[in-house]
Chain A
């Protein structure tokens, strides 16, 4: 076992960001949540829900919202959401079918997949890609990868 206790996997390697987050500007007031639905976990959501119909859907890896400081304002606002963890969740074949149903049945407008930079997170983009390939109705799918400290590392359209 390494000094971080969980081997070399970047997905579970211990990292300490306390120094880097010191000194940020103190902000007053409160921000309104941009979440407009419940549930949000991909196993629990139904593509038949009214808020998915013709919507711009955000499929976010579980950790993303904790990493990106302005997640609600910059990414969730105006979108319907589903969250999942491609590393730990079981029954991921259901995920492919569900995303396919977003495209074919809910006739969503777009799908944005937000993942962390850790390699295991790329699995969520793979799931979206599989769904896109098997769906009869194609929609634009965007992949946004964020760093562990919430910076956007890349934005790419998935073919």
Chain B
């Protein structure tokens, strides 16, 4: 079993599809993951299954070795009590990142409606896209992702596949932003739609993974001293960023829904 604990989950699911089904029963969404590079042992550890972990491991081992007389382990260790379903208690620095996600989601969630009404000849529509790209560059990336990359992830093992996956998501997102800027310059509607849609899909999944899995896992491993350090480091990092730019970004996220509605209404009138 040791070799499978250290194997990438995609390999295991490909060889033993039953394992994918078992993971889904525990709300562990590895089957649709395009990378699947996380190791089985990390996946089990990261999901904070408490006592359910023993049952899950028993079932996985049975699926891999059906002929083997697998014995169910009895819990002898002090497993931290799992929090009530749906209730995630974040420490203050992690809560700050979750709150930033909420703001990012305000814009990301409106992207489909923006694209549906996109007219590259409309000045207001293009200005909205430009403002949205600025929000992504300065708030989502420079303000938020930078805190993760330069500070938070330093409290984890950066060689873990789950962290590598998050960093790869950040890079992919930057690629879409770069392509978007080029597309805006040339008013290439097809390319704007392609990259903004891809950004929407990527960030929606990325934020969900971080809020529900990665952040709680990191939080569980932080000592009280590290929580304080992290909080102070976030304050210091935020102090170095232009408050005016961040203020504009927050204002954009809070007002964007109204702007999208306006563009939509204007388009209806023209029709």
Contacts and interface: CB of A to CB of B under 8 A. Distances in A.
B227 interface: yes
B228 interface: yes
The contact size tier of chain A is 10 to 19
Contacts, number: 35
A112 interface: yes
Interface string B225-236: 101110110010
23 contacts: A56-B224, A56-B225, A56-B228, A78-B225, A108-B228, A109-B225, A109-B228, A109-B229, A110-B227, A110-B228, A110-B231, A112-B224, A138-B231, A138-B235, A139-B228, A140-B224, A140-B227, A140-B231, A142-B224, A155-B89, A156-B89, A157-B89, A159-B92
B225 A140 contact: no
B216 interface: no
Interface in B212-263: 224-225, 227-229, 231-232, 235
Contacts of B93: 140
B92 A157 contact: yes
A138 B96 CA distance: 13
Interface residues of B, number: 14
Interface string B76-98: 00000000000001111101000
Interface of A: 56, 78, 108-110, 112, 138-140, 142, 155-157, 159
Closest 7 CB pairs of A and B: A109-B228, A110-B228, A140-B92, A140-B227, A140-B231, A110-B224, A56-B225
A78 B223 CA distance: 11
